[in-house]
Amino acid sequence: MADPKLKSMLAKREFFIAPGVFDMMSTLMANRVGFDCVYASGYWLTASYLGLPDAGLATYTDMLNRISRVVELSDAPVIADADTGFGGLLNIQHTVRGYERAGVSGIQIEDQEFPKKCGHTPYRRVVSIAEMQGKLEVALDSREDDNFLVIARTDSRTGHGLEEAIKRAQAYAKTGADVIFVESLESREEMQIVCDEVDAPLIANMATGGNTPLCTSQELIELGYSCAIFPALAALAANAAVENALRHLKTSGSGAAEGTPLFDFQEFCKAIGFEDVWAFEEKWSDLLNKS
């Protein structure tokens, strides 16, 4: 079931940030650092699992399998990307129930046409407001736990302008979405206008390299946001480090990975649970030695 902590933080107006996790190792690293919430990004889970772009190529089953494991490993509540809901209204119901059974605490559904595309890339198209409202009505009705939050995202800013994005955000809030997500805003001024015009908890997308300017937590609080996701930070940092280490290996023949900090191997073994394996070996050493 959903972790009530997420809904409680919103109700108490306790601002929180959620780093994006893109695989199981990044989820474990988020545990070590300690966060109030993590974000299971569709872009980065698709990239890490399938090596494909976030363009509607990952299926419901692909996403549910990965997200379920993230939830199992995460110490914090998980907000999970569900793209467009993976189909029509019946698919929305199926998706909400599947994500809720997996233990997700917040599901993000967007108003793009299928197949969707990353919110900071071109050629995105959106469905009508009425169609998205229908999806939200089904999503809200399908959940069994009131602690399971429905996050409504609009991708209309890029193709239809700020006024349309605000109109949609207000409509989705009126429909009953717990959190509103206006994607790909292009300035702090636009962010402020959205916060002023939309009477609902708002989530900011601090996508490194995206269209929206990066702000600190304090700046986002002052603008009026309730929370923020940082979906790309961990994945971009990790892959830059991997490429740097591999280039050094190729050119020098050395595994010293000059210029790239390396995790201590023994510490990493502990981080992924080897201490439990060693404890098991110790406890059952007599039986294991007989085999």
Sheet holding 149-154, edge to edge: 179-182, 149-154, 106-110, 78-81, 38-40, 16-21, 227-230, 203-205
Do 270 and 219 share a structural domain?
Answer: no
Do 181 and 62 share a structural domain?
Answer: yes
Do 275 and 222 share a structural domain?
Answer: no
Domain assignment present for 250:
no
Domain assignment present for 254:
no
Do 221 and 190 share a structural domain?
Answer: yes
How many whole angstroms separate alpha carbon 154 and alpha carbon 132?
9
Strand partners, 227: 16, 203
Domain assignment present for 48:
yes
Do 168 and 108 share a structural domain?
Answer: yes
How many whole angstroms separate alpha carbon 135 and alpha carbon 92?
7
Do 187 and 98 share a structural domain?
Answer: yes
- From residue 231, alpha-carbon distances to 17, 182, 234 in Å are 10, 15, 8
93-142: per-residue pLDDT in tens? Answer: 999 999 999 999 999 999 998 877 665 767 688 999 999 999 999 999 99
Domain of residue 283, residue span: 261-290
For residues 151-173, average pLDDT:
96
Identify whether the C-beta of residue 102 lies closer than 8 Å to the C-beta of residue 116: no
Do 279 and 182 share a structural domain?
Answer: no
Domain assignment present for 243:
no
239-275: per-residue pLDDT in tens? Answer: 999 999 999 999 998 887 778 888 999 999 999 999 9
Domain assignment present for 251:
no
Do 8 and 80 share a structural domain?
Answer: yes
30-51: per-residue pLDDT in tens? Answer: 999 999 999 999 989 999 999 9
Domain assignment present for 177:
yes
Do 286 and 197 share a structural domain?
Answer: no
Strand partners, 27: none
Structural domains counted in the chain:
2
pLDDT value, residue 287: 87
193-226: per-residue pLDDT in tens? Answer: 999 999 999 999 999 998 999 999 999 999 999 9
Do 104 and 72 share a structural domain?
Answer: yes
The pTM (predicted TM-score) of the whole model is 0.93
Domain assignment present for 142:
yes
Residue 114: CATH number of its domain: 3.20.20.60
- From residue 47, alpha-carbon distances to 38, 41, 54, 86 in Å are 18, 10, 7, 18
pLDDT value, residue 119: 58
Domain assignment present for 252:
no
Do 192 and 270 share a structural domain?
Answer: no
Do 273 and 218 share a structural domain?
Answer: no
